[in-house]
Amino acid sequence: MYLLIHRPKKSSKSVCRRSNIALIFVSVVTLVGCDSRIEKFDPNEVFSLTLAKSESVDMGQAQEDVTKVIETLFGTPESPTWPQDLISEETLVQTERLRRAAGGVSSEQDGTHLGLFQEHCVVCHGVSGNGRGPASQFQNPYPRDFRPGIFKWKLTDRAEKPSREDLRRVLENGIAGTGMPSFSLLAQDDVEALIDYVIYLSVRGELERRLLRISVSSLGYGEEALSDGERLQFPGDEQSKQVIVSNLERIVGQWVAAKDPDEEQRLISFNILEDDAGISRGRELFHGKIANCVGCHGVDGSGGVATLDYDDWTKEYTTRLGISPNDKDALQTFREVGAHRPRPIYPRKLKNGVLRGGDDPVRLFQLIRQGIAGTPMPGVTLVNEENGKGLTEAQIWDLVSYLHSLQDK
Ligand code: HEC
Ligand code: HEC
């Protein structure tokens, strides 16, 4: 079973956590059954409620209409569809791969696996990719909610989508120190089908969120009930179509634009790394005013700096609405529609700590440059010459050398 295959090298603690998760996984699968039919994707009620509170509106009609539109475009968990005729780009997602990843678990006569997402991912990520599968509540961090379209472990820039290669690396390696297992033993075309399905769920979920937001910000939903002619629908009038297509194109465009850095950039990095002078410059930068890594990660990356902060998935329905993540009563309505119990996010211990995204130097360069999307970890300003306001490329490489030197000591 795949959960037992991945052995993180550094932390014995996470091995133990992983096996707990394996147990949970087994029991939950027995409860839900791997091939139970699931008729519909859950609507994003937590986000609707967030909008209802922040805009002081009623979201009932908007939620109903957006759910219909999304279902017309993207189908159901059993028969997903991809709105190819509305999109100019042709290769992002292939319907044959969706078919293989979707639905209940079974095999075709030629041995092709079907229902891959349900078999391997639903228990944590949930049917709609909302990060609320039955085993999710025991985990820290929680499994990713794909619907906001924000991903952490990637070589693309902070505000960009991950590339296909980024998603492939996450599936291949897992995410050390978290519940996310490695899927390196799956056949390559199963992995490709799963990547398409993650992109599909993310595009679907992000369009749903955008349409919900737009329905109250510009389509007049939320105050009084709209008449039939004013409602968002598909296929519908020109205005509806234009709103739907332009938002869909924008999201799809971001996925298509996300590219892995080229080989050349990877090669350069190895020449710069790991000399003693670089490491000690990096150490100084780490503790210095500009990068101020020490402010969160502690002296020599030893951790222990008390910060109380949350990731963006959590802040959206708590601090950004003026609700304290500790205020159980205020959060009750969100919890009832499926929000996770807020969990603080802490800066990592870096000295012999687990690097969740791996220790590849190009990756660490990009991590320092861009920070980690969806989390409090900030990026740095890149400057051409040392000027006290940002870091130069060479200085970032020194920090990479220093981070490497913190491992295995
Ligand atoms: C046992 C629980 C578990 C299972 C099973 C699981 N995941 Fe995850 N996954 C997680 C957790 C936890 C995270 C978040 C880790 C973090 O925030 O660093 C995650 C994160 C991710 C991410 C986001 C990576 C990023 O850069 O932000 C992707 C994509 C992903 N999982 C895909 C999958 C797919 C596809 C499957 C099935 C083949 C799967 N996961 C199965 C727990 C799981
Ligand atoms: C405002 C606080 C803050 C500052 C400043 C900060 N970090 Fe972080 N850092 C975090 C948090 C929070 C995480 C954990 C993110 C997660 O796991 O989702 C993190 C994670 C990391 C990781 C682990 C990545 C992995 O793959 O697991 C590294 C390495 C790192 N930071 C390096 C740095 C460096 C180098 C600097 C200075 C240039 C820095 N950080 C500045 C908050 C901070």
Mean pLDDT by 10 residues, the chain (409 residues): 34 36 48 62 97 96 97 97 92 95 92 94 98 95 98 97 97 97 96 98 98 96 92 92 96 96 67 80 96 94 86 97 95 96 95 92 93 97 92 94 86
- First-to-last alpha carbon distance for the chain, in angstroms, is 33
- 224 found inside a domain: yes
**49: in domain:** yes
Pocket test for ligand 2, best of 372, 383, 397 (most atoms within 8 A of CB): 372
> For residues 391 and 269, is the Cβ–Cβ distance under 8 A?
no
Kindly give the distance from the C-alpha atom of residue 61 to the centroid of ligand 1, in angstroms, as a whole number: 33
* Residue 320 located in a structural domain: no
Q: What is the pLDDT of residue 271?
A: 57
**What letter would DSSP give residue 178?**
S
Residue having the nearest C-alpha atom to atom 24 of ligand 2? 355
Q: Is 167 inside any structural domain?
A: yes
Say if 313 falls within a structural domain: no
> What separation in Å is there between the alpha carbon of 272 and the centre of ligand 2?
22
Nearest atom, ligand 1, residue 186 CA: 38
Instruction: Please tell me whether residues 110 and 176 are part of one structural domain.
Output: yes
Please indicate, yes or no, whether residues 41 and 125 belong to a single structural domain of this protein.
yes
Q: Tokens 């990026």 identify what position?
A: 379
**Atom in ligand 1 nearest the alpha carbon of residue 142:** 12
Residue 280 and residue 246 share a domain: no
Beta-carbon contacts of 40 under 8 Å, excluding residues fewer than 6 positions away, are: 71, 76, 77
Tell me, what's the pLDDT at 275?
85
Residues with CB under 6 A from ligand 1: 21, 25, 120-121, 123-125, 135, 139, 141, 143-144, 151-154, 162, 167, 170-171, 175, 178-181, 183, 194, 198, 356
Both 182 and 162 in one domain: the answer is yes
- Structural domain boundaries, residue 179: 2-257
Final residue of a structural domain among 198, 231, 257: 257
Please identify, among 220, 235, 257, the residue that sits at the C-terminal boundary of a domain: 257
Query: Do residues 119 and 210 both lie within one domain?
Result: yes
Cα angle vertex 50, ends 41, 336, to 5°? 60
Please give the pLDDT value at position 306.
Answer: 78
**Global pTM exceeds 0.85:** yes
What is the residue type of 207?
L
Instruction: For residues 216 and 290, state if they share a domain.
Output: no
Burial class from Cβ neighbours inside 10 Å (0-12, 13-18, 19+) for residue 255 reads buried
Q: Tell me whether residue 326 is in a domain.
A: no
Secondary element (H or E) of residue 278: helix 276-287
Q: Let me know if residue 209 belongs to a domain.
A: yes
Please check whether residues 250 and 272 belong to one and the same domain: no
Give the number of the ligand closest to the Cα of residue 25.
1
Residue 361 lies in a domain: yes
d(C-alpha 187, C-alpha 199), whole Å: 19
Residues with CB under 6 A from ligand 2: 152, 291-293, 295-297, 345, 347-348, 350, 355-357, 367-368, 372, 375-378, 380, 399, 403
- 79 and 205 both lie in a single domain: yes
